[in-house]
């Protein structure tokens, strides 16, 4: 007997639901829920961690990331312009920089700055300086590639039209190409900010004073301090999500609003509304 398409879809949905129900039942039976609650969702250490986890941990994470991102953005823009420069030496330097720092683990940069800077140059960097410099160095390499792609996504005719009107190259770059590239690049840059937020945790390997602690350090210290399982890590994790989820939503919003899509969306709305109103 042949199944109709609709029957087949319904059957598939039923099978998926059955598997899901089975897995849930098994998990309920085999997991020691009391232990889970004790080690991951223990209210005591949560209360003990407040408000410092916000006023110190979250605040420091945001600070380190913010400065790392800003300087990474500046460095990345310079690198991107070097990457498309006509003077070949600029292109080589930028390419080597980008490939180098994208190719090594970010943690090496943190270690190099945290321990190496004082050993090699006698520099005594604060935690803020170490973390944001390391993030800027690594972030610049990724941001440079994002910005270069954005600049090259602007059609060549834009620059030509500007030059044909008599704009000098830098003026055409500043008023025509960069503003258009900026719009293209905003969503991927927001994703870059998310990655940097998470990478700020790497400052943990260098160690820091309690007042400079960021979320990961606080979570890790909480485990030893309260002897109450993993709950401090869960708290730290949630704090990261407080930063990253809004950024992620923002990036998606901006992507949807990008010029290429908005026109398509308008069309869809225009054709969809009479249908829905007709049904209602």
Partner 1 sequence: MSELVGTPEQVISDPAGVVIDDLHKSFGDVEVLKGIDMTVSPGQVVCLIGASGSGKSTLLRCVNRLEDPDAGRITVGDFEATDLDVNLDAMRRQIGMVFQQFNLFPHLSVLENCTITPRRVLKQSRDEAEREALHQLDLVGLKHLADRRPAQLSGGQQQRVAIARALTMKPSLMLFDEPTSALDPETVGEVLAIMRDLARAGMTMIVVTHEMGFAREVADRVVFLDKGVVVEEGTAKQVIGAPTQPRTQDFLRRVLNPLGE
Which residues are at the interface with partner 1 (CB under 8 A)? 155, 157-158, 160-168, 171, 175-176, 179-180, 183, 259, 263
Least distance to partner 1 from the beta carbon of 249, Å?
24
Least distance to partner 1 from the beta carbon of 187, Å?
16
Least distance to partner 1 from the beta carbon of 162, Å?
8
Least distance to partner 1 from the beta carbon of 26, Å?
55
d(CA 197, CA 113): 18
The single residue listed with the structure tokens 């949560």 is 46
Least distance to partner 1 from the beta carbon of 83, Å?
23
Between 158 and 244, name the residue whose CB sits nearer to partner 1: 158
Between 10 and 171, name the residue whose CB sits nearer to partner 1: 171
On whether the CB atoms of residues 220 and 49 are closer than 8 A, the answer is no
Least distance to partner 1 from the beta carbon of 176, Å?
6
Cα distance from N-terminal residue to C-terminal residue, the chain: 37
Nearest residue to 77 via CA among 3, 174, 2: 174
Between 27 and 161, name the residue whose CB sits nearer to partner 1: 161
Neighbours of 46 (CB within 10 A): 18
Q: DSSP state, 1?
A: -
The enclosing H or E element of 226 equals helix 215-226
For 87-103, the DSSP string reads SHHHHHHHHHHHHHHHH
Nearest residue to 49 via CA among 207, 200, 236, 244: 236
d(CA 237, CA 25): 27
Least distance to partner 1 from the beta carbon of 79, Å?
24
Between 169 and 225, name the residue whose CB sits nearer to partner 1: 169
Q: DSSP state, 58?
A: I
Between 51 and 166, name the residue whose CB sits nearer to partner 1: 166
Alpha-helical runs (H) found in the chain: 5-30, 33-40, 43-49, 52, 59-83, 88-103, 106-111, 117-121, 127-153, 156-165, 169-172, 178-199, 215-226, 231-257, 259-279
Between 168 and 246, name the residue whose CB sits nearer to partner 1: 168
Q: How far is C-alpha 80 from the chain's CA centre?
A: 20
Between 11 and 165, name the residue whose CB sits nearer to partner 1: 165
């Amino acid at each position: 007997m042949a199944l109709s398409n609709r029957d087949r879809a319904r059957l598939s949905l039923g099978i998926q639901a059955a598997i899901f129900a089975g897995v849930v039942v098994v998990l309920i039976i085999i997991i020691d829920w009391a232990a889970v609650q004790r080690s991951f969702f223990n209210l005591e250490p949560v209360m003990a961690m407040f408000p410092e986890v916000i006023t110190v941990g979250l605040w420091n994470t945001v600070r380190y990331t913010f400065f790392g991102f800003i300087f990474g953005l500046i460095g990345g823009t310079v690198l991107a312009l070097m990457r498309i420069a006509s003077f070949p030496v600029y292109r080589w330097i930028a390419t080597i920089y980008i490939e180098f720092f994208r190719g090594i683990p970010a943690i090496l940069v943190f270690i190099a700055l945290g321990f190496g800077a004082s050993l090699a140059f006698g520099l005594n960097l604060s935690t803020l300086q170490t973390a944001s410099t390391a993030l800027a160095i690594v972030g610049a390499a990724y941001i440079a590639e994002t910005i270069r792609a954005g600049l090259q996504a602007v059609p060549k005719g834009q620059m030509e039209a500007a030059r044909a009107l008599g704009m000098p190259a830098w003026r055409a770059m500043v008023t025509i190409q960069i503003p258009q590239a900026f719009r293209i690049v905003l969503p991927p840059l927001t994703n870059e900010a998310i990655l940097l937020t998470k990478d700020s945790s790497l400052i943990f390997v260098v160690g820091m004073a309690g007042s400079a602690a960021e979320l990961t350090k606080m979570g890790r210290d909480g485990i030893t301090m309260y002897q109450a399982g993993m709950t401090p890590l869960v708290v730290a994790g949630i704090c990261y999500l407080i930063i990253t989820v809004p950024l992620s939503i923002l990036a998606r919003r901006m992507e949807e609003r990008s010029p290429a899509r908005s026109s398509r969306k308008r069309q869809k709305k225009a054709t969809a509304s009479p249908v829905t109103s007709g049904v209602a």
